[in-house]
Amino acid sequence: MSLDLAFSSEQLAVGEAVAGFCRERVGGAPPAGDCPADWWQGLAELGVLELASPEAEGGALEATAAFEELGAVAFPGPVVEALIGGQVLRREERAAVARGALRVSVGTHDLAPFVPGCEVQLEVSGQSLFRAPLAAGFESLSSLDAEPVARGVRTREERLERSRAGLDLGRLLLAAYLVGAARRVVALAADHARTRTQFGRPIGDFQAVAHPLADVYIGVASAETLTHAAACEWDERRDEGEGPSPGLAAAAWLAAREAALEACHVAHQVMGAQGMTLEGPLYPLSRRIRQRASHAIGTATARESMVARLDARVGESLG
């Protein structure tokens, strides 16, 4: 039995709407730092910030289509965190997130991104999310892509229900974001390889350039397929009233993370000095990919989820 992982016409329309918004607002120069207020409000008006929430019509597949386009332009700000909040916060808070009036930070026990610009601060610990604001006197830090980060002491207030659903959605949306960014990175490197000549030939004619580009293209395509499969599973289990199953969203996140980082590595080699200039098209994408690849929902707990999925499958086969 085959599974069609292609986007439906409605999901493609969501992606096209977000792509048009990004062309209008972001253009060809992804910004460093936090998201401008008018961009954030624009996302809210498009309905992006409420995707996959209990009140929204669209689910994880619509959100995946949107986040691939956001990743392609290295869109700034806590966009993934907003949709995590849409799973775990109270109804009135979800409504505030959806209209762009409330921003959410998801961090570790001592590091919080996008603070002090976020009104709600969550801490991820294992497979759980807690309300845990930073105490007064936090220290502002600089991050790789200039997005704000704060360090300070957290005091947990409560464990949030639907933590598992929020974390799984966050992981697959981070995967979608990285897939979109990586596809753009590969496209930039391939265009450079077609037009840059050496010894009278395009450098893309040389196997030392063509083969690594082909490898990363395959890796990104595989991560994209896995991300779409995770989104399908997330939607199906939600529609059937079941909790998320462990592992597939985590696998998508890990695959996309590895593919995107490898795409950056190869693209920088192919483009040489042009890939390292601050004004060039590659470096802002590469910088944002590396920052997103270190997100707090992280590789350790993602691997734990994959192990839990394998344990469950083994148990089913032996049972």
8 A C-beta contact, residue 58 and residue 7: no
Mean pLDDT along residues 221-230? 96
The tens digit of pLDDT for each residue in 168-188 reads 999 999 999 999 999 999 999
Tell me the fold of 163-318: Butyryl-CoA Dehydrogenase, subunit A; domain 3 (1.20.140)
- Please name which of 190, 243, 249, 246 lies closest in space to residue 215, comparing C-alpha atoms: 190
Cα within 13 Å of Cα(96), Cβ side: 13
Using DSSP's 3-state secondary structure scheme, residue 292 falls into: helix
User: Domain-by-domain residue ranges, the chain?
Assistant: 163-318
Q: Is 70 exposed, middle or buried (0-12, 13-18, 19+ CB in 10 A)?
A: buried
Q: Provide the residue type at 216 as one letter.
A: V
Mean pLDDT along residues 143-158? 88
Strand partners, 73: none
8 A C-beta contact, residue 87 and residue 165: yes
The tens digit of pLDDT for each residue in 228-237 reads 999 999 999 8
The tens digit of pLDDT for each residue in 263-317 reads 999 999 999 888 888 778 898 899 999 999 998 887 667 767 666 666 566 556 6
H helices of the chain, in order, are: 9-25, 37-46, 60-72, 79-88, 91-98, 163-195, 207-239, 248-271, 282-292, 299-318
8 A C-beta contact, residue 218 and residue 177: no
Q: Is the pLDDT assigned to residue 193 strictly greater than 90?
A: yes
Q: What sign has the CA pseudo-torsion 109, 254, 164, 102?
A: positive
Can you give the pLDDT at residue 41?
96
> pTM of the prediction?
0.93
Q: Is 4 exposed, middle or buried (0-12, 13-18, 19+ CB in 10 A)?
A: exposed
Torsion of CA 84, 222, 239, 174, to 10 degrees: 0
The tens digit of pLDDT for each residue in 1-32 reads 456 788 999 999 999 999 999 999 887 677 77
Query: Which residues are within 8 A (CB) of 127 and not within 5 positions of it... i.e. 6 or more apart?
Result: 163, 164, 167, 246, 301, 304, 305
